[in-house]
Copies of this chain bind each other. A is one copy, B any other.
């Protein structure tokens, strides 16, 4: 693991996600750019001191010299955005498979270069867009893909949070500080942090690519250096249209991501606060409530569920689904087997490139007087 030392929220989440299904063992790490902190974190995590490294460069260098059956196989990178590209590139080029936190890189340029590295090395790559790990989000995608709703006409996706409603920067709130700092986060704040999740969810569930965007991007809290709010009108490749909004100043909201997709014959709705439910609405018959664990669900939903119906699974399980599917694909690679389609359904380099393109396009649209801009990569 690169990054994720003591006090980092997402590092702990990655570790739980990795452990949950017993598919991974944490064997080495470079947990902080400060070697002392890295060492201390490694100790707390119970690692052998000789495999806690002072830098990611050292980690790759030393690990690749270990015998094949001892050395680390998968590298998790959970650093802030500006330290995504270099370690990912180096890890892939050192022969490791990579799991990387989103957004993928600091800029679209880096993203395109990383895509080249992934293609060149042939190593496996996963980007942790958590929300697509939920079984009912997978069901939603399968449902749309099945054609039961007819052609998609409308996509509404929203992601309201409230935790940046006041100026939190520079104080104890480390999360607030780095996520609003252009040097660490890049050109976008809310759009990069949560807008990319909303965008990814919209494309994942609808199965459609966004082609045009018309955005309003705002800095609501005085003194903030990056956007904390935004909304965009969207056009999709098949002519469908949509609305996306993401905000971190909806005071009182927690983390209320929601998507609705409507086709000619019906629609569906999923909301993270009721994550084990997928609402399917029909033009001329009663709404149906699909639930995690139901025997009637697709193999994709079933594969990503651990407990029987009525035992709620949540965010950590969704995160763990990414890790587990990636592990199954890594093992299949090692064993020279063909991975099942359900295993391969984790976000990868394509999602990462499109996510970074979303950031660049949505910010460009926000700054532009032009109504619609083409979604370009």
Residues in A lying within 8 Å of B, measured CB to CB: 9, 12-13, 15-16, 19-22, 45-46, 149-150, 153-154, 156, 158, 160-163, 165-166, 214, 216, 218, 220, 229, 231, 233, 241, 243, 245, 247, 249-256, 260, 262-267, 272-276, 280-291, 293-296, 306-317, 368-371
Contact = CB atoms under 8 A, between A and B. Distances in A.
Contacts of A309: 254-255
Contacts of A249: 153-154, 262
Given A282-B251, A285-B296, A316 B310 contact: no
Contacts of A214: 214, 216, 233, 371
B312 A154 contact: no
Contact of A293 (B254, B262, B281, B284): B254
A291 B286 contact: yes
A256 B269 CA distance: 13
Contacts of A317: 314, 316
B286 A289 contact: yes
A275 B312 contact: yes
A46 to B, nearest CB: 8
B296 A307 contact: no
Contacts of A21: 16
B310 A312 contact: no
Contacts of A280: 252, 286
B154 A247 contact: yes
Contacts of A276: 273, 314
A111 to B, nearest CB: 26
